[in-house]
Amino acid sequence: MMTINHVKIFAPATLANVGPGFDVLGIALDQPGDIVIAERKNEKGLSFSLHDASNPLPGNHKNVAAHVANLMLEEFNPPYGISMILQKNMPIGSGLGSSGASSAAAALAINTLLPKPLAKMDLVRFAMEGEMLASGSPHADNVAPALLGGACLIRSYHPLDILKLPVKNDLFWIVAHPHIEIQTQAARAILPEMIPLTIAVKQWGNLAGLITGLIQGDSGLVGRSLIDHIIEPVRAHLIPGFYEVKAAALTAGALGFSISGSGPSVFAVTPTRELAVRVATQIQKTFLTLSHIKCDIYISNINLEGANILEQSS
């Protein structure tokens, strides 16, 4: 096998907490995403740099990509060091799995340079440590789809059991990132500790419907299952004009609409690209006219590939 000395990796943004799937379901998007460039160097250890002057990201020690890279170098102790550049293309605290994408890209970069690379699934536990650093919680619903692609179910954390669902990938997912910031930790702090059993039953009925709809490619079922009775009601007020934007999206033809991750990004789903564009326009317009908030829009099917190698050389 050829030794790989240089690699360039892309890892995509992800949509987590998909409607009723809080903490267990995540979906990979085509864009945005982060890029990690890594190469072997003679001196052991990691030298890390960040290419994004516009983002106030923490430096080397607290950057999630550097953290994941350091953990993997410690564990595998290869006879070389790594020089790593993170090209950060999305803001932290967006609800688009920004730290998950950086962690996934770093994990796949280090892995690709290893003498005996692991399977992508085995990288999830390293990338989860990036999430631990970023949010204080080692969740996998962003890093799993960022690495593996597709719609990933985290059935269980102990033991870790991640399933890439066999989705029919014909729906269009619109993600809108309004230019406001929500800290993941703050968004988690407002969650209720206890919930009524009757509400939990509604939530898991909808999640079961959503999973079935994704697997069968039943757009109507996906749409009417995208109801979140627990998380959306408490987080919606963190996003100015949330309910007006939601109403505008549904009126414009979205099958469903909810918060992406812990916000402030929101997402909608449509059966066609044409409708997706129409819905996106209404989301953007409503955020702007109502709350004077600009937002970036991304439209894609589910990204089935996940983190991937853009370039490699020996």
Q: How far is the CB of 149 from a copy of itself (least distance, A)?
A: 17
Q: How far is CA 235 from the centre of its chain?
A: 18
Residue whose structure tokens are 């919606």: 236
Residue whose structure tokens are 């619903």: 141
Task: Say which amino acid occupies 287.
Answer: F
Q: CA angle 228-236-185, nearest 5°?
A: 95
Question: Which position among 14, 39, 129, 184 bears the catalytic label?
Answer: 184
Q: Residue 256, interface with a copy of itself (CB under 8 A)?
A: no
Instruction: List binders of a copy of itself among 14-53 (CB under 8 A).
Output: 20-25
User: Tokens for 216?
Assistant: 């069968």
CA-to-CA distance for 284 and 177, rounded, in angstroms? 9
Q: Which CA distances in Å does 246 have to 37, 169, 256?
A: 38, 23, 9
Nearer Cβ to a copy of itself (168/285):
168
Q: How far is the CB of 200 from a copy of itself (least distance, A)?
A: 4
CA-to-CA distance for 73 and 131, rounded, in angstroms? 18
Nearer Cβ to a copy of itself (55/156):
156
Three-state DSSP class for residue 286: helix
Question: Is 184 considered catalytic here?
Answer: yes
Question: Is 193 considered catalytic here?
Answer: no
Q: How far is the CB of 134 from a copy of itself (least distance, A)?
A: 19
What's the length of the chain? 314
User: Under a CB-based contact definition with an 8 Å cutoff, are residues 199 and 230 in contact?
Assistant: yes
The stretch near a copy of itself (CB under 8 A) out of 158-166, 255-263, 264-272, 293-301 is: 158-166
Q: Which of 190, 195, 290, 310 binds a copy of itself (CB under 8 A)?
A: 195
Q: How far is the CB of 203 from a copy of itself (least distance, A)?
A: 6
The stretch near a copy of itself (CB under 8 A) out of 6-14, 61-69, 162-170, 258-266 is: 162-170
Nearer Cβ to a copy of itself (47/169):
169
Largest CA distance in the chain: 60
Q: Residue 163, class by beta-carbon neighbours within 10 Å (0-12 exposed, 13-18 middle, 19+ buried)?
A: middle
Instruction: List binders of a copy of itself among 94-113 (CB under 8 A).
Output: none
| β-strand pairing of 6-16 with 308-313 | antiparallel
Q: Residue 75, class by beta-carbon neighbours within 10 Å (0-12 exposed, 13-18 middle, 19+ buried)?
A: exposed
Rg (CA), the chain: 19
Interface mask toward a copy of itself for 208-237; x: CB under 8 A: xx-xx--xx----x--xx----x-------
Kindly determine how many residues on this chain lie close enough to bind a copy of itself according to the rule CB under 8 A.
Answer: 39
CA-to-CA distance for 256 and 98, rounded, in angstroms? 23
Q: Which of 202, 247, 277, 278 binds a copy of itself (CB under 8 A)?
A: 202
Q: How far is the CB of 11 from a copy of itself (least distance, A)?
A: 24
Nearer Cβ to a copy of itself (7/231):
231
Q: Which of 161, 170, 181, 305 binds a copy of itself (CB under 8 A)?
A: 161
Q: How far is the CB of 195 from a copy of itself (least distance, A)?
A: 5
User: Tokens for 167?
Assistant: 């989705």
Supply the residues annotated as catalytic.
131, 184
**Residues found near a copy of itself in the complex (CB under 8 A):** 20-25, 153-156, 161, 163, 165-166, 191-197, 200-209, 211-212, 215-216, 221, 224-225, 230
